[in-house]
Amino acid sequence: MKAPQDIILRPVITEASMANVQLKKYTFKVAKDANKIEIAKAVEALFPGTKVASVNTMHCRGRFKRMGRTAGYTASSKKAIVTLTEGSKTIEFFDSMF
């Protein structure tokens, strides 16, 4: 089994993801082979006091980029939107962004 640090790679900090923080929805980049159950357990392990209500995942394909005459694709990734329960503690990292 993978460690929680290997499943949750980094938070996603965008305007759209920060607007969902008030609704207790947090967005993370996760490992491509991680499933929803592993993601929920990793969030609860990394952030004590949190209880996960649901996990929504999406695959983000790599984008086509050009640099002069050289062309290629950026790396594809996987994102997870984690919704916490009402009585759950918030994640302090996202609270400090406001």
Q: Class for domain 4-85, per CATH?
A: alpha beta
**Radius of gyration for the alpha carbons in the chain, expressed in angstroms and rounded:** 15
**Phi, psi angles (nearest 5°) of residue 21:** -65, -35
In the chain, what are the domain boundaries? 4-85
Residue 4's pLDDT is 94
The pLDDT value recorded for residue 47 is 94
Q: Write down the residue that tokens 């086509």 correspond to.
A: 64
- How much is the pLDDT for 94? 86
For residue 98, what pLDDT is reported? 66
